[in-house]
Amino acid sequence: MHGLSQVLSGALYAVFEKRLAAAHRRDRGGIPAELAELVLPAARRVARVIIRALDYLPPGEASFADFGRAFLAAAAATYDRPQPEQRWLREEFVRRGIGGAEAELETAQFPPAALAGVDLTAIIGDDQAARRFAEDHRGLLGLEAVTEFEVLPRAVASRSFGSKRAEDRREELVFRVRWASTETHDLGWRDPSTWAVAHGTTLVVALDSGRVLSCLTTDRSPRRRAERHAMLQHWIQEDTVQEAAAGLQGRGPQGAGMTGAGLRVERTRGSVRILHGASVGSRRTP
């Protein structure tokens, strides 16, 4: 069983079921003769936001809660008014232990003039202009305490809103920055170990109006740190993570992204297996 995938896919499927049920209730004739007339629109509606949320997701060690916020931000950018899918997803994520409360999944709202005077087209293909933009908007991008960061290649996404007409499409600038921080965890080894954790922010802006549609940073709360600690302990119990020999220089793909105390580097072995293991920090709910 893909335990981790069940947490997210189960929540999204529950939203799809509720969207389909809502379509049934609107049909005065009861159960329709052609169920596909309701299934396909419901599936397209939910899938549109799911796919769009992947662009809104911040780079780095993103959590299920980060995807939940990306889904809600994408839905808010897609529809003029709050939709029931947003409420349903918040409820499902809390029920499945992804968020402790619905408030943890709320996304920030930005004033229309948040990026007034910024030449957005200049930063699409100009790396130096993009870097200057990031330096000038550290607060917006969550970079206040970050000394070194990377500006990732920019993307322009063309969005549709349920219509094939050109006037119903919008171009969005997707601007991402990424950086690394370190965390020290006492795992019962000789010394506490230090682990590099990737964080990032994704900013999405409507190119025609300059309106900030979303700005999401990976969750850096104590809860997420505690969940990473629990996952490391789970890996140790599963013999996926082992303490490296003293003096070992951790170079190579197995040690990428992880640093140990002194000259030691903590290595992973068979880490792909975690996708088939139990979810630590989240409950699997049918």
Q: Considering only residues 16 and 50, tell me which one the structure prediction assigns the higher pLDDT.
A: 50
* 283 part of a folded domain: no
The pLDDT tens digits for 121-131 are 999 999 999 99
Residues in contact with 89: Cβ distance below 8 Å, sequence separation at least 6, in sequence order: 11, 12, 15, 68, 71, 72, 105
Residues paired with 199 in a beta bridge: 179
As for how many domains the chain has, the answer is: 1
Domain that holds residue 126: 3-276
CA nearest neighbour of 107 among 67, 156, 80, 146: 67
Spatial separation of the C-alpha atoms in residues 194 and 185, rounded to whole Å: 6
Q: What is the DSSP string of 196-257?
A: EEEEEEEEEEETTT--EEEEEE---SHHHHHHHHHHHHHHHHTTSEEPPPTT----SGGGTT
The mean per-residue pLDDT over the stretch 26-37 comes to 53
* 286 part of a folded domain: no
| CA distance readout (Å), 82 to 53, 75, 86, 158 | 16, 8, 7, 22
Q: How confident is the model at residue 283 (pLDDT cuts 50, 70, 90)?
A: very low
| Secondary structure class of 48 (helix, strand, coil) | helix
- Would you call 30 exposed, middle or buried from its count of C-beta atoms within 10 A (0-12, 13-18, 19+)? exposed
Residue 30 is classified by DSSP as S
Asked if 279 and 93 touch (Cβ cutoff 8 Å), the reply is no
* 68 part of a folded domain: yes
* 281 part of a folded domain: no
* 71 part of a folded domain: yes
The mean per-residue pLDDT over the stretch 133-140 comes to 96
* 282 part of a folded domain: no
Indicate left, alpha or beta for 162 from its phi (over 0: left) and psi (-120 to 50: alpha). left
Query: What confidence score (pLDDT) does residue 161 get?
Result: 61
Query: What confidence score (pLDDT) does residue 7 get?
Result: 60
* 219 part of a folded domain: yes
The mean per-residue pLDDT over the stretch 17-31 comes to 59
The pLDDT tens digits for 52-97 are 888 999 998 888 888 888 988 888 888 766 667 777 777 877 887 7
Spatial separation of the C-alpha atoms in residues 80 and 158, rounded to whole Å: 18
